[in-house]
Each structure stands twice: as C-alpha cells, then as structure tokens.
C-alpha cells in the first residue's frame, strides 16, 4: 500500500544554454529522491522542465536568427537527452510554452486579479535581463565605465522607463504573513543559513512586484489585459503546479492529491524567488505552501563558480564517458554535501571513485563473487542449521541501516546516506579479512562455517545494492542480476526488502567484470570549456 504522495521539483531551466554540471546537480539530486521514495512506498511526482519565456530567451533566439519558439523547440532534445543520459526518472517535463501551462498561468493570475491582489501602475526602475530580475537603484553596483550593473551577475542593467504600465502583485501585503509563516514552519527554508538570509530580507520590507510587461510579447498574455505578457518568474514558478495537473481537465483530482509538495530543490541564487514571491503567490491564491525550499550550494572549480565564460566548466557527458553515469551520480551526491558549496575536481573525483567504488563496493563484489564460484560452484550456499542465530556482525550493521539511511534521505543528506551504506560495505570487507574464507576453505571441518560466512557476505551485497540503487541504479541492477535476483525498479518496500536473510540459497552467482575498474588520473584526457 502506498504511503501517500511525495512530490518535488527542480527549477524549470532557462533554455538559453544547454544543461551543465550545475543544472545536472539539482536534477540528479531530485532523481535520487525520486528513486528512493518510490522504493520507500510513496507515489512520487518529480517535476522538471524548461523556462522558455522572457527577454533573455527571446534575445538568445534573436542572436541565433531564430524565432523564440524555434529556438526553444531546438533546445528540448538537449535537455531530454541529458536527463536520459543521467538516468533521470522525472514524471513531468513542463515546457512553459505548452498550452496546458498557459492555461495554468492564466487561471492563476485571473484568480488573483478577481481577488483584488493586482493593480496597474507605471514602473520606473532597473532590470537585469540575465537574471530576469528587477532591482532598486540602491541595490545596484557600478562598473569601471560608471554604468549601473547587476549586483548578482555584474552585467549592465536596463532602465525601465516610466510610461510602461505594468500589472503589480501586492507582495507588500504579505510581509507579516510571510514572517509568521517562516516562524511557524521552521523547515520551510533549508539549510538554516538561507533561512536567516530570507528572514532578514523580508524584515527589511517588501515592495509590490511587477508581474507583466507590455513592451515585448514573448510570454503568456494576461487574460484580463491581453496587451500584457506575464513576467517570466510569475510564469515559471507556476510550472510547479502545471506539473502536477493544476487546471488540467485530463488530470482531474491529481492536483488536489499532490499539492502541497514536499520539496522544491533550487540553487541558492534563486531561493529568494522561491521563499518570498512564491509562497506569497500561493497564499494569495488560497493554496497551501510547499513543505521545504531546499537551496543547495554551488559547485566550484578552483574556488570559483563554474561557468563557460570563466573557462572552468566540465561537461556532464565528458565526465560520464570517463567515470560512467553511476559513478558520476555517486560522486556529486556523496562528496558535495547538499546545501553547501562544494569544490569539485577531476583529481577528487578519481580519488572518490577509486576509494569508495573501486576499492570498497566494487572490490567487495569481485572478491565475494569469485570466492562463491571457487568454493560453491557459483551458487549461494545454504546456512547450516547449527549457525542459525550465530553471532553475525554484518546482520547487526544491516539491522540499523534503514532507520539511519531513511532519516538522511528524508532530509536530503545524501552524504550521510551514502556513508551509512558504505559502513556496511566497509564492515563486509573487514569481515572477509577477519573470517578469511580462503583459510576456511582449506579445512574440510570448516565447511559449515565457510558456508555461513559466504552467505553473510552475499546477503550484505544484496542489501548494499538496494541502498545504493537510488544513487547508482545501473550498478545495483547489475549486482541483482549477478545474484539471479529480479528487478529493483518497481520495488516499493525497501525496509522489508532489506531485512536480513532473504537471499535464496541455491541462486546462481555470476562473477563478471569488475564493476568499477580502477582509474589513473594521469591517464585521463579531458577538455575544460
């Protein structure tokens, strides 16, 4: 029986550039949650997509000599292919130019208009097209040419002339409701440092937000004033509700069932949109607010945020070609603590790969599968009756694992979750050393003990494969196949499935190639953009 719904999102990515390590990071994290919570009995909705409107995308398309729609259409395969390559199991991929999304946007803002939360007024101020964000003059910085520049990306900002009439959302009315909401829901913004930033920002006062533009037309027209298109953020955030069936006659009842969501996973640079504007929009609409906005950190190379313009960008496909998709996923999830900035490097990636995958998890499988072949003709041995209830350190480690792992996964501490699984792999490697099956095998009187030890090792491998599956789905499927076990995908009770002693005696065990052949960093030749 399902434990209920578990729903979450990545950001809806701008289509001015192809997916990169940063966007792949959030998407892999969300997929790890999706895969785990399915195995944990939840009915999962995992929404991702493309943010296609706004001036930045229109400008990019113009620069390519294409219409915005043509440009966006041409980018869809880049995103879908990247997510397929990384084994991402999203449940909806929302393109903000789809008619179903326009329907959500129009329904939502019509509702706020009807409720009196919108008014028309002229706007004078500054706008950064790259960030698609309005700034007060007091927030701006100046460059060497004495031009005002964006405080975030340092590019010159545009003056939005008065005379352009905009629709405004009465965001200022939500200052106190938001502060009350943050106080009553301490988990709404995580990690804690981001929460403090947001509370301070809102305490400083909120201005009403311009939600429409009339000087260009690349956006969703507002139903009550068709000469205006929706501001790109006032459109994109609503992809989260489109993705679970809001205003969709073909998905009746789904939105009510799946909303509110558990999580929005976002980078720390866009937490303000998600923690201030978005909950205020939802409150105005009378809809419940998402459980947690989790603002993860940036991936840094040599201490700097990775970007093409800095020439320090590694590409997901290149890394996957060297390490394999599973090791790629494992590295980013285990080594960069979700919520903190993390320095990444090829050297470190090789180190984690060799230590934790080749030498620990991969080596355990090779040794144990080979010994099974040698001592038991490649079959899982039966545990002799006299060993039932015998001291079993691996069973003990495994017994405490679900609680530890589940707690980490619920709070998206992937580093903690992988460390907990690696404890069992480490314990199993130690057990090989201590029990020394290769010595037991030489003594016919120890045949029973040998069977007991080997069964325990194979069973530990089965359990590790289950817990590793959300991180490294291909490898776990491979291990299951070598143990002649069925599919992991589709399993809905990981707690029951990881209870000790379920590996059937007599199952054929295949040895196969090493799961993670060791890598030498000096032999890797890779371009950095």
Q: Binding residues for ligand MSP, per CB under 6 A?
A: 11-14, 22-23, 25-26, 51, 236-237, 239, 266-267, 269-270, 298-299, 305-306
CB of 319 to ligand MSP, least distance (A): 14
H or E segment to which residue 199 belongs: helix 192-203
Please report how close the Cβ of residue 265 comes to ligand MSP at its closest, in angstroms: 8
Smallest distance, ligand MSP to C-beta of residue 131, A: 8
Residue number of the CB closest to ligand MSP reads 267
SS3 state at 71:
helix
Residue keyed to tokens 């459109």: 235
Nearest CB to ligand MSP, comparing residues 26 and 456: 26
Place of tokens 């603002």: 295
> Which CB, 157 or 453, lies closer to ligand MSP?
157
Name 522's Cβ contacts closer than 8 Å, sequence gap at least 6.
none
User: Is 14 or 405 the residue whose CB approaches ligand MSP more closely?
Assistant: 14
CA distance 413 to 407: 8
Residue 434 Cβ vs ligand MSP, minimum distance, rounded to whole Å: 42
Name the nearest CA neighbour of 338 among 291, 367, 295: 295
Q: Following DSSP, what letter does each residue of 363-398 receive, concatenated?
A: HHHHHHHHHHHHHHTTBPPPPPGGGTT---HHHHHH
Rounded to whole angstroms, the Cα distance separating 133 from 148 reads 14
* Burial classification of residue 197, based on how many CB atoms lie within 10 Å of its CB (0-12 exposed, 13-18 middle, 19 or more buried): middle
Give the Cα separation of 330 and 421 in Å (integer).
Answer: 12
CB nearer ligand MSP, residue 14 or residue 218:
14
Least Å from the CB of residue 202 to ligand MSP:
19
* C-beta of 24 vs 424, nearer to ligand MSP: 24
Whose Cβ is closer to ligand MSP: residue 127's or residue 361's?
127
For the bound state, the minimum distance from the C-beta of residue 13 to ligand MSP, rounded and expressed in Å, comes to 4
Tell the smallest beta-carbon distance from residue 266 to ligand MSP (Å).
5
**With respect to ligand MSP, which residue has the nearer C-beta, 284 or 299?**
299
Min dist CB 269 to ligand MSP, Å, is 5
Closest CB to ligand MSP among residues 235, 459: 235
Query: How far apart, in whole angstroms, are the C-alpha atoms of residue 55 and residue 218?
Result: 7
CB of 138 closer than 8 Å to CB of 171: no
Min CB(523)–ligand MSP separation in Å: 27
Considering beta carbons, is residue 399 or 526 the nearer one to ligand MSP?
Answer: 526
User: Min. distance of Cβ 330 from ligand MSP in angstroms?
Assistant: 17
**What is the DSSP annotation of 318-358?**
HHHHHH-HHHHHHHHHHHS-TTS-EE--HHHHHHHIIIIII
Q: Residue 324 has which token pair? A: 């394999």
**Sign, Cα dihedral of 219, 222, 228, 230:** negative
> Which of 46, 480 has the CB closer to ligand MSP?
46
Strand ranges of the sheet holding 221-222, from the earlier edge strand across to the other edge? 212-213, 225-230, 221-222
Q: How far apart are CA 441 and CA 183, in angstroms?
A: 63
């Amino acid at each position: 029986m399902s434990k209920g719904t578990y729903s979450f999102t990545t950001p809806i990515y701008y289509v001015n550039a192809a997916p990169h390590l940063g966007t792949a990071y959030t998407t892999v994290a969300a997929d790890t949650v999706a895969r785990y919570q399915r195995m944990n009995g939840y009915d999962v909705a995992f929404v991702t997509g493309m943010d296609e409107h706004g001036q930045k995308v229109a400008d990019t398309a113009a620069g390519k000599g294409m219409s915005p729609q043509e440009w966006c259409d041409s980018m869809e395969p880049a995103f879908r292919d990247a997510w397929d390559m990384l084994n991402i199991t999203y449940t909806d991929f929302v393109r903000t130019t789809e008619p179903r999304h326009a329907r959500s946007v129009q329904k939502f803002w019509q509702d706020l208009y009807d409720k009196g939360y919108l008014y028309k007024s002229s706007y004078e101020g500054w706008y950064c097209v790259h960030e698609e964000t309005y700034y007060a003059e007091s927030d701006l910085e100046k460059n060497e040419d004495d031009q005002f520049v964006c405080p975030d990306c340092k590019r010159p900002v545009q003056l939005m002339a008065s005379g352009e009439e905009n629709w405004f959302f009465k965001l200022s009315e939500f200052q106190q409701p938001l502060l009350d909401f943050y106080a009553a829901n301490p988990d709404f913004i995580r990690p804690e440092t981001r929460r403090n930033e947001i509370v301070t920002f809102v305490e400083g006062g909120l201005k009403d937000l311009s939600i429409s533009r009339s000087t260009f037309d690349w956006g969703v027209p507002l139903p009550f004033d068709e000469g205006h298109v929706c501001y790109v953020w006032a459109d994109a955030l609503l992809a989260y509700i489109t993705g679970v069936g809001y205003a969709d006659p073909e998905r009746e009842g789904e939105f009510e069932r799946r909303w509110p969501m558990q999580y929005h996973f976002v980078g720390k640079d866009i937490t303000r949109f998600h923690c201030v504007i978005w909950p205020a929009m939802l409150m105005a609409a009378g809809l419940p607010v998402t459980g947690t906005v989790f603002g993860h950190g940036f991936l840094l190379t040599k201490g700097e945020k990775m970007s093409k313009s800095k020439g320090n960008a590694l590409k997901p496909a290149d890394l996957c070609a060297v390490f394999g998709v599973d090791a790629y996923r494992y590295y980013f999830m285990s080594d960069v603590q979700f919520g903190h900035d993390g320095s990444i490097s090829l050297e470190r990636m090789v180190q984690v790969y060799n230590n934790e995958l080749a030498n620990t998890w991969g080596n355990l499988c090779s040794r144990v599968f080979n010994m099974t072949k040698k001592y038991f003709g490649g079959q899982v041995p039966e545990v002799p009756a006299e060993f039932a209830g015998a001291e079993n350190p691996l069973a003990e480690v495994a017994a405490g694992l679900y609680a530890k792992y589940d707690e980490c996964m619920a709070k998206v501490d992937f580093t903690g979750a992988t460390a907990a699984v690696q404890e069992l792999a480490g314990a199993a490697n130690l057990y090989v050393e201590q029990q020394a099956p290769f010595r037991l095998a030489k003594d016919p009187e120890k045949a029973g003990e040998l069977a007991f030890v080997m069964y325990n090792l194979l069973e530990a491998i089965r359990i590790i494969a289950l817990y590793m599956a959300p991180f490294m789905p291909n490898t776990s499927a491979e291990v299951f196949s070598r143990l002649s076990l069925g599919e992991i995908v589709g399993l809905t009770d990981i707690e029951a499935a990881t209870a000790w002693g379920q590996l059937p005696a007599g199952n054929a065990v295949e040895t196969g190639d090493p799961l993670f052949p060791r890598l030498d960093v000096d032999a890797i030749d890779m371009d950095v953009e």
